[in-house]
Structure 1
């Protein structure tokens, strides 16, 4: 297992989690993975990138988790993987890509159950970013040129999808503070404040876990 420093960021939609991750990565001088993770997973698995985008952080009642994990160590060329339903393949490829990235470099990974995929990595810091609904509506309405009503609808739908996806695959609960090392209210501390707090918390973790 590598000694790279890994920060995973779970986030409510519209909480600025992505922006916080990007700024943090730049200040720490490490790579940032969000949609980039989909490209890497698609390339390594041989599956179409568009498939990953269409299924990104979306739950499916057809998933058979135990089948996916039993097949994890067999690789993409195994008959079990070839015969596996599409949704299984996509989750497995992302799971694999996250682990490979963590072994290769220090980085920030946003969403996609990264904290669960790296649960055995002591050098991994898990963060969750949330914000009050009013602030998130303003952010999403402005960003996508939507009415407040449409922005709220999109936020609730996206959060529900992310929560279902996360809760299904992990043994934890999306957004529950006990599932993360650090939970931040970006409405209260802002983007820059969130970045500063994460960096300071990381330094405390390094003191207790020197190899981080």
Structure 2
């Protein structure tokens, strides 16, 4: 089973992912350890841009959008194919990295999108990263905007669109542990839990 978690900034996805990985005793992959895996396999240079979560250059985005319309998205998909090959069929939890798209053909995929009230996410980030509310607000806005562009650039899809995920919900209202339990319940109810 592979669990992919896309998220708005400040929704506690890392904590949820860790709980799920521990619950199912499977690896937990974030950007950092996926980069390490790519480096260990000698493919990090080919995937460098894919691992950067800074805003995609607007000109490159426009070119990509045009190429995607023309059916030529080889550049975008190369890094995603490498990641799919690195993960293979192993069970794991992946945070971000367009996982819902990359692994969409796996029958054992559970794709999740976590969201939350903007002001609550700002407060959570300010508390978690010890920054002012103004700094946290700017950080949350920029991170979400970057993820929108990143996801569109690599997949052609709208980030956060419910049709592209198995389940979408407000993880801040539930809290970390209840969010993980809800995902576990979904996994059990669809028959993926052994």
1:134 partner SS: helix
TM-score, scaled to structure 2: 0.83
Q: How many residues align?
A: 186
Q: Deviations over 1:165-197 (max 9, x none)?
A: 112222431112122100121121110010000
The CA distance in 1 between the partners of 2:82 and 2:110, in whole Å, is: 18
The CA distance in 1 between the partners of 2:136 and 2:6, in whole Å, is: 20
Structure 1 residues 179-188 or 53-62, which shifts more? 53-62
The equivalent residue for 2:78 is 92
Which structure 1 residue ranges, 5 or more long, are not aligned? 72-87
The equivalent residue for 1:144 is 129
Q: Contact (CA 8 Å) 1:6, 1:102: kept in 2 or not?
A: no
The equivalent residue for 1:79 is none
The CA distance in 2 between the partners of 1:28 and 1:175, in whole Å, is: 25
The equivalent residue for 1:162 is 147
TM-score, scaled to structure 1: 0.76
2:4 partner SS: strand
Q: Which of 36, 43, 57 is the aligned partner of 2:33?
A: 36
Matched, 1:59 2:44: no
Q: Which of 170, 182, 185 is the aligned partner of 2:170?
A: 185
Matched, 1:153 2:151: no
Q: Contact (CA 8 Å) 2:35, 2:51: kept in 1 or not?
A: no
The CA distance in 2 between the partners of 1:48 and 1:195, in whole Å, is: 34
